[in-house]
Structure 1
Amino acid sequence: MPRPGASSTLPRDTKDFTGRTGELRTLLATPTREGHATALPLSVVHGMPGVGKTALIVHAAHRLRTSYPDGLFYVDLRAYSDQPAYEPAEALAFLLHSAGLPDPLPDTLDERVARWREWTAHRRVLVVLDNARDADQIVPLLPGAASCRAIVASRNRLAELDGATPLLLHELSLSEASALFTRVAGRSSSSDAAALRRIMRIFGGHPLTLQLLAARLRHRDTWDLEYVAGRLTRADDPLDEVGERVTAAFQLSFAELRPAARRLFRYAALHPGPDLTVDAAAALCAAPPDEIRRAADELLDRHLIEEPVRDRYQLHDLSRAFGRRLCRVEVPRYARRQAMGGLLSYYLTAADRAERAAHPGRRALALDRESPYAPDFAATDDGAADRATVWLTVERANLLAAARTAAAEFPEFAVLFPLALVHSLKLWGIREVAAELLDVAVTVLRGTDDPAALARSLVARADVLAQTDHAQALSCAAEAYVLFETVRDDHGRADASLQTGRAHLAAGRDGDCLRALEQARELYRGTGDRYGVAESLNVQGASLIFGADYPRAMRCFVAMLDIHRGLRDLHGQAKALNNMGEIYSHEGRTEQALHHYEQSLKLVQSFGGRQEAAILDNNLGDVYRDMDQIDQASAFFRRALSSNRARGDAVGEMNSLIGLGRVHAAAGRTQEAMRHLRAAEALSLRLGNVYERQRALVGRADAHRMAGEYAAALETYDDARRLAEDFTFPLGTARALAGTARTHLRLRDSETARSYAERALMLFHRLGARGEVESLRHLLGRQRPSAPGPTSHGREPMTDGA
């Protein structure tokens, strides 16, 4: 307990103190003295303005009062205040008077330091120094005895303060922030949990802001959390909703920065992405990288920016809001646009170079000017492709933010970003974003006199739309072909023909598909584009799979694999291996299929293709289902479904739904099976995808049959057969016939069953589906099966353009 008469100048503790369990544990722990028995225990709590440093150190000091019975001294050094900062001599006068020392006090700083240390030498006191500027302001105020303790709070890191133990104070966690807000607001959050989370996200767990907003809510009887969240979402500047205290807190830190650091802080707030590198900041500020590093260090020392990863800088949401407010007031609009133009040029130049290094087959963009700050990925360097791939992966969020900013505000960049990122957008599996960016590019280009650029954007748009809107994809490809003819670009005509083939494939028109691909392949050969030849073979092979011409399809994929191995293109190799695995699976050669899928997956994991990984998850799910490993198959299908839905890949989603439906049917969960299969069928109808619709119908008929619903099974098999015959899908026809045979066998109508089985067997023989043949022979009593019965296999070929 404090001794009678012991001084205490601590401010009162707050009843709203929330969280900070780990930080409190650190401050309340008994100081270790091993090897430092005579050293003063000194803690420095540092963090951004308003993050709760004062509340923490005052709360900790009240908790420590029994450990320091001779006095508890608190001094606000006012380094960041609207009042003049406390000079050390002045602060020492306050401490000496608080300790009970009478006037007159010594005149000089050194004499006051000596008197203070003499008084604390044989006492146990706690000194709390808040709002400190630097070591020069702090050191004279520290007690001189190891029996004492000092806790310092500062917006600066105070790295120059010898012997201090730093404690970085972050913003509150979501749960802590929510608890603080509801406590101050005096409102229950149970009915408005979603609105509360939105508020927390906007202010990023910043205690001062949350307290001010919660206090405002407490005194507005007609407001609720949903209303507050809506106001914040609609506000041009969220700082307007919390008054001037937060702005004033940041302004005090900003005021002492040097000009280069001020410029960096203002412009960094304009950056649309989550973080930025030195090079990106240099492009934004049009300044040398060395100057940016020095300015960034200054901002880091004052917690106006953060460095979660070395050489990558972030702004807290409130720092960003304050920086943008400064920009609006202090920086002319033309200068802001000039800065953003420099940033967009940096990302566009770097993306173009990285994509060409990672995918050498991609045609180069004609950039009017290249950013001098952008990294270079030398084509002669063996490691260039890997470095480029890593860069594209790391910068993904920034590139997407830059592309969307360009689409909204900078048309001269909007027409180039989707072409610069054409491969990455597919690897990242974000079709909707790609379509959105390309729609803007096409709209802008229709107002210009640049037919070649318009044609390239139309080809890219056809690529994105091929699986989901094949009619529109065909329209884009046809228009692009005419434009390429106008400018006499044979390579462009090849690209347009390739996309025409892909759209015909998605629409189920195999003959038209193969004719377009033959034209594309000849044009690519004429221009010497081996990548184009390989991609034509890829789509041709996929079309042949749907037509069940497995030998020709295999030749296409083997030739494709040879080309991509010669080009050292891992993405192309992964697609070829996957598609070869699909053929082996259709032929009932499970071990070979599994081997090829696993080889493909290793390559996909090396370059991070999300769409390719989901395709392989679906295919591996099919293989493990055929091996009667239902749990493992379900896990692959569920993972694929989650990925496909997150990326907006409707074709992949249909495959996952069909796979899960068939797994549930095999496990006797008929209701769940039907739910998944009907969802797949509805999606296929919306997209006009006859292949997936036919597979969903066969899957649904199988589920009816397994559940003993034979009339429904026969009707659905018949629908599936007629659909397959209408669109020349012989494998689908065979599977519908085989299912019908099995149903009649359950009905003890062996003669009718044999008739349907014989028709199916003839098709399976012609198609080379060995597993299906052996299963049907067993059904007819000719031999024991060595493979599973007829199934609506859903292996996905990888047909996206590369």
Structure 2
Amino acid sequence: MKIENIILLTCKILLVSIFFVPVTVNAVEVTEQLHGSSYVKNSSQLREEADRQVSLARRELKQGKTDSAVNLLLQALEIYHFTGDIKAQGLVYDLLGKSYVKLGRSKQAENAIRRRLAIARDLKDFRSQIFALNNIGTLLMQKGDFNPALQTFIEALNIAREIESLEGQGLSLSNVGLANFRLGNHNQAMELYENALNFRRQARDSLGEANTLNHLGDAYLLVDNYQQTIATYGAALRIAKTISDRSNELRAMDGLITAHSSVKRYDRAFELLERRLSIAKKLNNIREELKSFESYAKLYEQMGQYSTARNFYERAILLAKTLEDSREELLLLDKITRISKR
């Protein structure tokens, strides 16, 4: 066979091989494909594809796979931008905001939620404006910007009152109360929490009611009103257990443990703490297990049983190492050093 024929045959084989090699598509390439002439799907098919990605993202979020969910949401967002579906973009920004919060990416979270708010305003979607404003206020609170957060919550409350949204008024009043609490206006905060509870009960918002009750319990605890503290946290705990709201359930338990130990009701505090640890293990939540061990240590330290307290701090340190949380590890080591000097 002549050399020219061999070269020609080799080129043909290479072309065929390249044609059949599968191409992997990533999020960065989505925009290029959407605008490319080879992309033959119509608007309806594009919408179905984006909807499917959002559905998959929701499933990933439920399974705790937040990074994967974000990638799916970003791909869906590209399609919704291309098709001009503003309403769908707003829903995706809402999910992205919540996802970034879970990942601790506060700047991206705030950006996504502010975009969500802008779309809600363009569409005159007042209900979505209420929740977006409350989410922005919450992020501002986490940064310590209490006054801007308060103004944001008040804006949400005014909209909720205008459209007579019971759910929106309950949420916004509760957050206005929280901002006042952080600003040191404790009595005003308690009044706002009580008012918020009325709306949350009218709206049958059990999760919101448990959350506001926990806020109110924090306020009563701060002013040393232990009778009201225990009653309020107890109410939050009962509601949270009924609706399987683990977050508020654990939070109510923490409040009750602190309250009972403050008045030296150690048996009740240990009983609650045992239940708390059991829930954390059942959820396979290492962070909550760590918090339970630290609470055990604090209780034993308060009772003067320093060797037992040290043991629980050491167990908490092991979990901090598992979580690769060096900051928490140092704080726990400092507590061990402190009790070693007693």
Residues 277, 289 of structure 2: 8 Å contact kept: no
| Amino acid paired to 1:498 | D
- Does structure 1 residue 568 correspond to structure 2 residue 164? yes
Deviation at 1:505?
1.6
Tell me what 1:643 maps to.
Answer: 239
Tell me what 1:104 maps to.
Answer: none
In the superposition, relative to structure 1, how do residues 518 and 494 fare at CA in structure 2: closer, same or farther (>3 Å)?
Answer: same
Residues 459, 476 of structure 1: 8 Å contact kept: no
- Does structure 1 residue 539 correspond to structure 2 residue 138? no
Deviation at 1:644?
2.2
Tell me what 2:47 maps to.
Answer: 451
Deviation at 1:603?
0.9
- What is the aligned counterpart of 1:583 among 179, 182, 186? 179
Q: Which deviations, in whole Å up to 9, do the C-alpha atoms of 1:210-253 show, x marking residues without a partner?
A: xxxxxxxxxxxxxxxxxxxxxxxxxxxxxxxxxxxxxxxxxxxx
Deviation at 1:628?
3.0
- Report how many residues are paired: 291
Tell me what 2:154 maps to.
Answer: 558
- Does structure 1 residue 493 correspond to structure 2 residue 89? yes
| Amino acid paired to 1:469 | G
Tell me what 2:3 maps to.
Answer: none
Tell me what 1:111 maps to.
Answer: none
In the superposition, relative to structure 1, how do residues 515 and 483 fare at CA in structure 2: closer, same or farther (>3 Å)?
Answer: same
1:613-632 correspondence to structure 2 within 5 Å: 613-632=209-228
Deviation at 1:573?
1.6
Residues 297, 310 of structure 2: 8 Å contact kept: no
Residues 509, 727 of structure 1: 8 Å contact kept: no
| Amino acid paired to 1:577 | L
- Runs of 5+ unmatched residues, structure 2: 1-43
TM-score normalized with structure 1 length: 0.31
| Amino acid paired to 1:674 | L
- Does structure 1 residue 672 correspond to structure 2 residue 268? no
1:700-739 correspondence to structure 2 within 5 Å: 700-708=296-304, 709=306, 710-712=309-311, 715=314
Secondary structure at the counterpart of residue 574 of structure 1:
helix
Tell me what 1:469 maps to.
Answer: 64
In the superposition, relative to structure 1, how do residues 614 and 491 fare at CA in structure 2: closer, same or farther (>3 Å)?
Answer: same
Residues 665, 673 of structure 1: 8 Å contact kept: no
In the superposition, relative to structure 1, how do residues 468 and 747 fare at CA in structure 2: closer, same or farther (>3 Å)?
Answer: same
- Does structure 1 residue 604 correspond to structure 2 residue 232? no
Identity over the aligned pairs, expressed in percent? 20
Q: Which deviations, in whole Å up to 9, do the C-alpha atoms of 1:126-151 show, x marking residues without a partner?
A: xxxxxxxxxxxxxxxxxxxxxxxxxx
- Does structure 1 residue 519 correspond to structure 2 residue 115? yes
CA distance in 1, matches of 2:220, 2:183: 15
Residues 517, 540 of structure 1: 8 Å contact kept: yes
In the superposition, relative to structure 1, how do residues 585 and 468 fare at CA in structure 2: closer, same or farther (>3 Å)?
Answer: farther
In the superposition, relative to structure 1, how do residues 469 and 512 fare at CA in structure 2: closer, same or farther (>3 Å)?
Answer: same
Deviation at 1:616?
1.9
CA distance in 2, matches of 1:694, 1:450: 46
1:263-662 correspondence to structure 2 within 5 Å: 451=47, 455=51, 458=54, 462=58, 469=64, 471=66, 474=70, 477-478=73-74, 480-662=76-258
CA distance in 2, matches of 1:551, 1:563: 19
In the superposition, relative to structure 1, how do residues 600 and 567 fare at CA in structure 2: closer, same or farther (>3 Å)?
Answer: same
In the superposition, relative to structure 1, how do residues 636 and 573 fare at CA in structure 2: closer, same or farther (>3 Å)?
Answer: same
TM-score normalized with structure 2 length: 0.67
In the superposition, relative to structure 1, how do residues 480 and 507 fare at CA in structure 2: closer, same or farther (>3 Å)?
Answer: same
Residues 677, 700 of structure 1: 8 Å contact kept: no
In the superposition, relative to structure 1, how do residues 743 and 727 fare at CA in structure 2: closer, same or farther (>3 Å)?
Answer: closer
| Amino acid paired to 2:132 | S
Deviation at 1:501?
0.8
Tell me which structure has the larger Cα radius of gyration.
1
Residues 658, 680 of structure 1: 8 Å contact kept: no
In the superposition, relative to structure 1, how do residues 663 and 535 fare at CA in structure 2: closer, same or farther (>3 Å)?
Answer: same
Residues 57, 70 of structure 2: 8 Å contact kept: no
Deviation at 1:599?
0.9
Deviation at 1:537?
2.0
CA distance in 2, matches of 1:607, 1:554: 23
Deviation at 1:611?
1.4
Secondary structure at the counterpart of residue 493 of structure 1:
helix
CA distance in 2, matches of 1:644, 1:461: 27
- RMSD over aligned Cα, in angstroms? 4.2
In the superposition, relative to structure 1, how do residues 624 and 540 fare at CA in structure 2: closer, same or farther (>3 Å)?
Answer: same
Residues 544, 550 of structure 1: 8 Å contact kept: yes
1:29-108 correspondence to structure 2 within 5 Å: none
CA distance in 2, matches of 1:711, 1:608: 45
| Amino acid paired to 2:99 | A
In the superposition, relative to structure 1, how do residues 482 and 622 fare at CA in structure 2: closer, same or farther (>3 Å)?
Answer: same
| Amino acid paired to 2:115 | Q
CA distance in 1, matches of 2:126, 2:115: 15
Q: Which deviations, in whole Å up to 9, do the C-alpha atoms of 1:475-519 show, x marking residues without a partner?
A: 664454344335321221121111111122234332332232233
| Amino acid paired to 2:259 | V
Q: Which deviations, in whole Å up to 9, do the C-alpha atoms of 1:680-700 show, x marking residues without a partner?
A: 6446753x8x6x677656644
CA distance in 1, matches of 2:223, 2:315: 26
Q: Which deviations, in whole Å up to 9, do the C-alpha atoms of 1:694-748 show, x marking residues without a partner?
A: 76566445334323335347657878999999699xxx99xx69x967993x776
| Amino acid paired to 2:273 | M
Structure with the largest fraction of strand: 1
Secondary structure at the counterpart of residue 224 of structure 2:
coil
CA distance in 2, matches of 1:725, 1:583: 32
CA distance in 2, matches of 1:719, 1:663: 28
CA distance in 1, matches of 2:71, 2:135: 19
- Runs of 5+ unmatched residues, structure 1: 1-447, 750-802
| Amino acid paired to 1:562 | N
CA distance in 1, matches of 2:87, 2:155: 21
Deviation at 1:461?
7.5
In the superposition, relative to structure 1, how do residues 456 and 630 fare at CA in structure 2: closer, same or farther (>3 Å)?
Answer: farther
